[in-house]
Structure 1
Amino acid sequence: MDKLIISNLSKTYKYGVKALDNVNLEIGKGMFGLLGPNGAGKSSLMRTIATLQEADEGSITLNGLDVIAHKMEVRKILGYLPQQFGLFPKISAIDLLDHFAILKGITNKIERKEMVSALLEKTNLYAVRKQNLGGFSGGMKQRFGIAQALLSNPKLVIVDEPTAGLDPKERNQFYYLLSEIGEDAIIILSTHIVDDVKELCTKMAIINQGKVILQGEPLKLIDQVKGKVYQKLVHKSEIAEYRKVHHVINEQHYLGQPLIQIITSLDPPDGFTPSQVGLEEVYFSQLIQAHK
C-alpha cells in the first residue's frame, strides 16, 4: 500500500526561524490537504518532502524508502508543482513537456511521444499543444504544471498553493483534474484556501507556526465543532470587547454590519444564535486557539 510517513520532522532556518516543529503525519493514497496560513511552514514541509532541502531532525519514508537518504530514487517517483512555477514563454507546450520528459529519463522517443500526448489530453491542453506558453492563462499554466508533475507515473505528487490567483472557472477545472489523479497516487495539496481542501480532500491536517495542530477527516472534524459555534450582528465598536471575553473565530459583514462568530462549549451569551458549521469554522477555531 502506498504510504508517506513523516516522523518528528524539524527545520530551523538562519536567525532562529523555526519553520517545522516536530511534524508527524501519515499519508496514504488519495488527496490529502495541508491547510494553513501563509508562513505556517507548508512550503518548507513540501520542499523537504520533495528533497529540495534538508531537515535538521526527523525522518521521511515513502513506501519504505528513506526519502532523505535516497534522494535520487525518490525523485524518480515524485511529481512536484511548486508555488512559483516558471515557464519558458516562447516554447510550445508540447516541446517543453517533451524536454521535461527527457530530463526525467524517458529516452525512448515513441514512449515519450505517447506519454506527452496522453498527459496533454488528460490536462485538456492537447488542442493548444503547439501554442507558446506565454499565451496561456493562469489556469492553463497550472494544468501544464500538473502535466509535468505526472511524467513517469509518480507515486507521490505534491502541489503547493495551486489555485491561488485562478478565477472560479479555472479553479473548478483544476479541482476536477486533481480529483482524477488522486485515484492513482498520494497527492498532497498544500494551500491556505479552505475551499481547496473542502472540495477535494478526504483527509487533512492544519499546520501553523511549523506545528501540526489538527489532523483527521474533514467531515469528522466538522462534527466536533457542531453545536459550539454561534453568531451575532454587532457594532464595530464592540468587536474589541467581544474578542477579550470570547473566542471570536471569524468576522465578516452582513448587510453592512459586522457579524462575528464565537466558539464555546457553554450556553451562548445573550443575542447569539447557532451558526452553520463548515470546514472554515474548524480552521478558524484552530488558528484562534493556537494563538491563545
Structure 2
Amino acid sequence: MELIIDNVSKTYSNGVKALQNISLEIPKGMFGLLGPNGAGKSTLMRTIATLQEADEGTISLGDLDVLTQKNEVRHVLGYLPQQFGLYPKISAEALLNHFAVLKGITNKGERKDVVNALLHKTNLYNVKKQNLGGFSGGMKQRFGIAQALLSNPKLLIVDEPTAGLDPVERNRFYNILSELGENTVVILSTHIVEDVKELCTTMAVINQGKVILKGNPLKIIEELEGKVYQRTIVKSELETYKQNYQVISEKLFLGKPIIHILSDTNPGNGFTPVKADLEDVYFSQIFGSNTNLKSVL
C-alpha cells in the first residue's frame, strides 16, 4: 500500500499559503517529513488525517480517496498529533480500554488481549494502573502511540513525537517506530534532523508550504560530499563570514562558534573539509538559498 499526494494546496482565511502544490509518493516504511516550525508540516498531516479540507489536489491510500472517503480512511489510520490531551485521573489501562471500545473492539476478551499487547509493546504494562497525570512526557508519547495502534493501522502519522523527550525516551521511541515501519506506512513529521537520520529511508524537506527536496537520505547526503567546510570563528565575525561565504549552519563548541559553509572548491582561509551529514543537507535547503540539490530517489 502506498500514500499518493498529488498537487495538494491549502490557503487559510488570513491569506497564509500553508501548502502549495504538494506532491509526494510515500511507500510502506518510515518516511521523514522535515521542516522548520510553520513550514506546513502539521497542516499536511491534519489534511492526510482527514481533520481538515484541502483547497486543491488529491490524496489516495491504496484504493481509498482520503479526501472523500474519510470514514473508511479513519478505520485504517493511526494518528499521534503534536499536542493531545489525556485524562489525568484515569489509568493508562482504563483509558486505552475506553479508546478500544470507541474503535469498535466490543468483545471484552479480545479487547483485553489487544490492550495488554499494546501496553507491552510500548513498555507501559508495568505502570498500566498508574494515572496518566503522573506520566512523564515520554510515557505520555508512548501511550499516544498505543492508542494510535488500536486499529492496527495501515497508515500511521506521528507529528513532532520526540520534541522535549530526553535521550533515553527518544531512543525507546525510535525503537517502537522502527518496528512499526516494517509493515505500515509511517509518516514522521518533525523539525529534529536526528529523528529522520535515525529512522527513515525516504524523506522530504518542506518549507513555506513547498516541498523543496525529496529522496533517500543517504543518496541526498552524497550530493554534498566534498562541498562542506567548517571553521571556528569569533562571534563578532559571523556577519562578515555570512556576506563572503554560503554559511549553512553555526553552533557552539566549548563556547566558540563553529560555522559550516558550502563551497564547490576549497575556500582556504582556515576552513577544513568535513564529512557531510543530514543536518548539512537540511540547513543548506532551509538557509542556503543558493543551493539547489536535485531530488534523489
TM-score for both structures, normalised by structure 1: 0.97
Determine the structure 1 residue equivalent to 2:122: 123
Where in structure 1 do 4 or more consecutive aligned residues deviate above 4 Å? none
5+ residue gaps in structure 1?
none
**Measured at CA, do residues 124 and 138 of structure 1 come closer, stay the same or move farther in structure 2, by a change above 3 Å?**
same
Determine the structure 1 residue equivalent to 2:74: 75
How far residue 290 of structure 1 moved from its aligned partner, in angstroms, is: 4.3
Determine the structure 1 residue equivalent to 2:164: 165
Give 1:55-74 correspondences, 5 Å limit. 55-74=54-73
Give 1:1-292 correspondences, 5 Å limit. 2-290=1-289
CA distance in 2: counterparts of 1:291 and 1:99, whole angstroms:
52
Q: Does the residue aligned with 1:251 lie in a helix, a strand or coil?
A: strand
CA distance in 2: counterparts of 1:228 and 1:100, whole angstroms:
51
How far residue 259 of structure 1 moved from its aligned partner, in angstroms, is: 1.3
How far residue 252 of structure 1 moved from its aligned partner, in angstroms, is: 1.4
Q: What is the number of equivalent residue pairs in this alignment? A: 291
Q: Between Structure 1 and Structure 2, which shows a larger proportion of helix residues?
A: 1
Q: Is the 8 A contact 1:204 1:216 kept in 2?
A: yes
**Measured at CA, do residues 36 and 114 of structure 1 come closer, stay the same or move farther in structure 2, by a change above 3 Å?**
same
- One-letter identity of the residue aligned with 1:189: L
Q: Is the 8 A contact 2:29 2:184 kept in 1?
A: yes
- One-letter identity of the residue aligned with 2:182: E
CA distance in 1: counterparts of 2:46 and 2:289, whole angstroms:
24
CA distance in 2: counterparts of 1:218 and 1:132, whole angstroms:
40
How far residue 219 of structure 1 moved from its aligned partner, in angstroms, is: 0.6
CA distance in 2: counterparts of 1:101 and 1:242, whole angstroms:
57
- One-letter identity of the residue aligned with 1:281: D
How far residue 291 of structure 1 moved from its aligned partner, in angstroms, is: 8.2
Q: Does the residue aligned with 1:153 lie in a helix, a strand or coil?
A: coil
Structure 1 stretch 154-163 or stretch 243-252: which is displaced more? 243-252
Structure 1 stretch 272-281 or stretch 254-263: which is displaced more? 254-263
Q: Is the 8 A contact 1:213 1:290 kept in 2?
A: no
CA distance in 1: counterparts of 2:147 and 2:253, whole angstroms:
43
Structure 1 stretch 99-108 or stretch 158-167: which is displaced more? 99-108
Counting aligned pairs with the same residue, the percent is 69
CA distance in 2: counterparts of 1:229 and 1:64, whole angstroms:
44
RMSD: 1.2
- One-letter identity of the residue aligned with 2:99: F
Q: C-alpha offsets along residues 196-247 of structure 1, whole Å, 9 cap, x if unaligned?
A: 1111111111111111110111111111101001111222222112112221
CA distance in 2: counterparts of 1:261 and 1:200, whole angstroms:
24
- One-letter identity of the residue aligned with 1:81: L
Q: C-alpha offsets along residues 125-165 of structure 1, whole Å, 9 cap, x if unaligned?
A: 11111111111111111000000000121000000000011
**Measured at CA, do residues 291 and 190 of structure 1 come closer, stay the same or move farther in structure 2, by a change above 3 Å?**
farther
Q: Is the 8 A contact 1:87 1:133 kept in 2?
A: yes
CA distance in 1: counterparts of 2:119 and 2:100, whole angstroms:
13
